[in-house]
Chains A and B, each alone.
Chain A
Amino acid sequence: MRFDFKTRYEQDLRLFPHRTDLLGNGALLLCMLAAPLVLPQYFLGELTFLLVYGVAAIGLMLLSGFAGLISLGHAAFMGIGAYAHAILLEAGLPFALSLPLAGLIAGAIGMLLGIPALRMTGLYLAIATLAFSIIVEHVIGKWEGLTQGHGGMQVPEASLAGFDMGDIESFYYTALAILCLVVVGTANLLRSATGRALIALRDSEVAAQALGVNLPYAKAVAFSLSAGITGIAGGLFAHRIGWLEPGSFNVVLSLQLLMMVVVGGLGSLKGALLGVAFLGVLDPAIAILKDYLPSAIGGAAGLQLFLFGLVLVLFVLFEPLGLYGRWLKIKAYFDHFPMYRRATFQRTKTYMQSERYR
């Protein structure tokens, strides 16, 4: 059994609270670095997709998991990032400049959306972001001078420091590097006063305000950072798909992102990545499952959607903390062996907590 006996405040603020965390993360990073040496091209391509989704999921996790603001329209920021990146590349900017700029543009638009969103709460915000994403999709389709509309737009080729983005291996390393930067950056943000303000905001707006958190500022920060990170993911996504259409960034993508975050476990960065990995495995798993089912079920077109929905329902009902929550439970079981008590993680029975105040 391990005791967290903290004697200094710095121990509370460490990026890696235990030496084992450092070892585990280092081992994971080494595996990821070695992956292109082992994996065939096809799987490497799929893994790259997951890295890109990972960046987007971290962006959404920052907003929904930490600041507690629900967004049903994050695909819009991915779309904005992707188009901004492609258009800037077309204009002749180098990759190293256009990707951060794409993130900045998405972040600025996120801030613009965030300012009116400051006054909305939970549900209204969710629906407003949904409306926003549908409008963005429409605007991208209509603004033919800039985006070439529904006909689609070729993503220009680019290279970074001699690495060609068209080459799957060098793109893999670029995506991995950006994902690492984003993860470390977000983890650092969450250790800072701003990050803690976001978490306080999620747990109780009134209490956070009473403790001196500047609500509008904190929410605007959450929105613009989240949109910016998702915009960068969009820029990478553009390279991966190679051909941009407004329809690629629709409500379904937003819901997929949200599903990754929820299945992974709201409120943890590891959760976001676990969720991405889980959904990345689920897709091929369903494809394999189809072969073993009787053809009446396995061949049906809706099976994938049905199973996705079922997984989401089961997670919300039986593991609301997501995969990361399950991981914590497994870890606690071995930490406390043989003294593990189920009650440690049992949720207290609650009656309906009204969010209405009447």
Chain B
Amino acid sequence: MLDFLQQSLNGFATGCIYGLVALGFVLIYKASEIVNFAQGDMLMLGAFVGWTALDVLGFGYWPGLLFTILACAAIGFLLDRQVMRPIIGQPQFAGIMLTIGLAFTIRGGVIMIWGPEERSFHTPFSNKTTAFGSLAVDDVSLSIVAGTLVLCAVLFIFFRRSRLGVAMQAASQNQLAAYLMAIPVKTVNSLVWGLSAGVAAAAGMLLAPSLLVDTNLWIVVLKGFGAAILGGFGSIPGAVVGGMIIGVSEQLVGVYLDPESKGIAAYVILLAVLLVWPQGLFGGAERKRV
């Protein structure tokens, strides 16, 4: 039982990362109906920028975290403004291909700038554990869970209380109406991209201590898809919950069923869910317009 709890908790922490990646998808999807295949690469970029801030520029952890989030948010904002905007109104396929192209460009650029070596990442949480009764938990995992909860709370308040958050919701529900209400829809959409990139960077900073800073970090994007689909691709809480479900079940499969199949548990769940609910768990029935 103890072992079960321990494993679930580990899985839960990984699941939070998947949830954050999925959250990034959902933000952008709701704003512009584009699925950002470059989300995983934004996360990787975040981890590398974070490493540079901490190890090269010599920032402390918290200023470094803030710097990384802001830097990546700026990159996300510029990406939307300079690259993504011309394809508004084109078929969904164009968006998918464009973000795949961006993903390659970012990954190649990161390898060119930082080189392909792996790096370790030191934080105040590394190599420490906290005991809850007889349960010992890594501080890194705790930091991931806590970071995710804080981010979700901040986003929740942001979308409910702030003027900009409400404007983002309005623009995602009906662009034309939002435009008529004097919301600068283009800028708001770019800000959503910035927000999403910032979330990815934070996820990268949280994930990097438990793995190495490596160009293969982008692979979480594939798990993030699973999370987003479980959550129905339109709901922010759904995305986070979906990520947690995938993380926990993946860990349990790895421990109790077959360690080699751990990596594909997420995809089997994803396919199984899509078989039964082709629009995801929380997606409504939709018909395309003619």
Whether B111 lies near A301 (C-beta < 8 A) is yes
Extra contacts, 17 of them, besides A134-B267, A142-B260, A302-B215 (Cβ < 8 A), are A116-B271, A122-B92, A123-B233, A127-B274, A128-B270, A132-B267, A134-B222, A135-B267, A305-B104, A308-B104, A309-B105, A312-B101, A313-B101, A316-B101, A350-B88, A356-B286, A357-B288
Identify which of A128, A301, A304, A349 gathers the most chain B CB atoms within 10 Å of its CB.
Answer: A128
Whether B271 lies near A301 (C-beta < 8 A) is no
User: Shortest Cβ distance from B28 into chain A, in angstroms?
Assistant: 12
Whether B109 lies near A302 (C-beta < 8 A) is yes
Whether A135 lies near B271 (C-beta < 8 A) is yes
Q: Which of B86, B100, B110 makes the CB contact (< 8 A) with A317?
A: B86
Q: Does A287 contact B (CB under 8 A)?
A: no
Q: Which residue of chain A is the closest to B116 with respect to CB atoms?
A: A301
Which stretch in A82-90, A91-99, A202-210 binds the other chain?
Answer: A202-210
Whether A355 lies near B92 (C-beta < 8 A) is yes
Provide the residues of chain A in CB contact with B89, threshold 8 Å: 349-353
Whether A310 lies near B105 (C-beta < 8 A) is yes
Q: Does A106 contact B (CB under 8 A)?
A: no
Q: How far is the CA of A353 from the CA of B91 in the complex (A)?
A: 8
Provide the residues of chain A in CB contact with B104, threshold 8 Å: 305-306, 308-310, 312
User: Shortest Cβ distance from A98 into chain B, in angstroms?
Assistant: 29
Q: A116-B275, A131-B226, A306-B104 are known contacts. Are A355 and B98 too (CB-CB below 8 A)?
A: no
Residues of A in contact, count (CB < 8 Å): 59
Residues of B in contact, count (CB < 8 Å): 57
Within 8 A of A (CB), among B236-283: 260-261, 263-264, 267-268, 270-271, 274-275, 278-280
Q: Which residue of chain A is the closest to B275 with respect to CB atoms?
A: A116
Whether A313 lies near B92 (C-beta < 8 A) is no
In the complex, the 8 A-B pairs of residues with the closest C-beta atoms, listed nearest first:
A302-B111, A309-B104, A306-B108, A350-B89, A312-B101, A309-B105, A305-B108, A131-B267
Q: Does B96 contact A (CB under 8 A)?
A: yes
Provide the residues of chain B in CB contact with A310, threshold 8 Å: 101, 104-105
Q: How far is the CA of A287 from the CA of B275 in the complex (A)?
A: 44
Whether A313 lies near B33 (C-beta < 8 A) is no
Q: Which of A119, A306, A350, A352 makes the CB contact (< 8 A) with B32?
A: A352
Within 8 A of A (CB), among B81-139: 83, 86-90, 92-94, 96-98, 100-112, 115-116
User: Shortest Cβ distance from B138 into chain A, in angstroms?
Assistant: 28
Whether A308 lies near B108 (C-beta < 8 A) is yes
Within 8 A of A (CB), among B40-71: none
Provide the residues of chain A in CB contact with B175, threshold 8 Å: 351-352
Identify the A interface with B (CB < 8 A): 64, 68, 70, 116, 119-124, 126-128, 130-132, 134-135, 138, 142, 204-207, 251, 255, 258-259, 262, 266, 297, 300-313, 315-317, 320, 349-358
Whether A131 lies near B271 (C-beta < 8 A) is yes
Q: Does B289 contact A (CB under 8 A)?
A: yes
Q: How far is the CA of A350 from the CA of B88 in the complex (A)?
A: 8
Q: A123-B233, A300-B111, A308-B104 are known contacts. Are A138 and B83 too (CB-CB below 8 A)?
A: no
Q: Which of A70, A135, A304 makes the CB contact (< 8 A) with B96?
A: A70
Provide the residues of chain B in CB contact with A128, threshold 8 Å: 270-271, 274
Whether B109 lies near A306 (C-beta < 8 A) is yes
Q: Which residue of chain A is the closest to B93 with respect to CB atoms?
A: A70
Provide the residues of chain A in CB contact with B173, threshold 8 Å: 358
Could you pull out 21 A-B pairs where Cβ atoms are within 8 angstroms?
A68-B93, A121-B288, A124-B229, A130-B222, A131-B222, A135-B264, A251-B222, A297-B112, A302-B108, A302-B112, A303-B112, A305-B104, A306-B104, A306-B111, A307-B108, A309-B105, A313-B101, A316-B97, A320-B90, A352-B88, A355-B33
Whether B101 lies near A320 (C-beta < 8 A) is no
Q: How far is the CA of A259 from the CA of B103 in the complex (A)?
A: 13
User: Shortest Cβ distance from B82 into chain A, in angstroms?
Assistant: 10
Q: How far is the CA of A301 from the CA of B106 in the complex (A)?
A: 13
Provide the residues of chain A in CB contact with B280, threshold 8 Å: 124
User: Shortest Cβ distance from B47 into chain A, in angstroms?
Assistant: 16
Provide the residues of chain A in CB contact with B286, threshold 8 Å: 121, 355-357
User: Shortest Cβ distance from B13 into chain A, in angstroms?
Assistant: 23
Q: Which residue of chain B is the closest to A300 with respect to CB atoms?
A: B112
Q: How far is the CA of A138 from the CA of B229 in the complex (A)?
A: 21
Whether A302 lies near B290 (C-beta < 8 A) is no
Q: How far is the CA of A329 from the CA of B108 in the complex (A)?
A: 32
Q: How far is the CA of A304 from the CA of B116 in the complex (A)?
A: 13
Interface string of B2-28 (1 = CB under 8 A from A): 000000000000000000000000000
Q: Which of B261, B274, B288 makes the CB contact (< 8 A) with A355?
A: B288
Q: Does B161 contact A (CB under 8 A)?
A: no
Q: Which residue of chain B is the closest to A68 with respect to CB atoms?
A: B93
Provide the residues of chain B in CB contact with A132, threshold 8 Å: 267, 271
Q: Which of B87, B287, B290 makes the CB contact (< 8 A) with A207?
A: B290
Q: Does B176 contact A (CB under 8 A)?
A: yes
Whether A130 lies near B225 (C-beta < 8 A) is yes
Q: Which of A206, A309, A311, A357 makes the CB contact (< 8 A) with B103?
A: A309
Q: Which of B101, B111, B264 makes the CB contact (< 8 A) with A134?
A: B264
Whether B101 lies near A357 (C-beta < 8 A) is no
Q: How far is the CA of A351 from the CA of B33 in the complex (A)?
A: 13
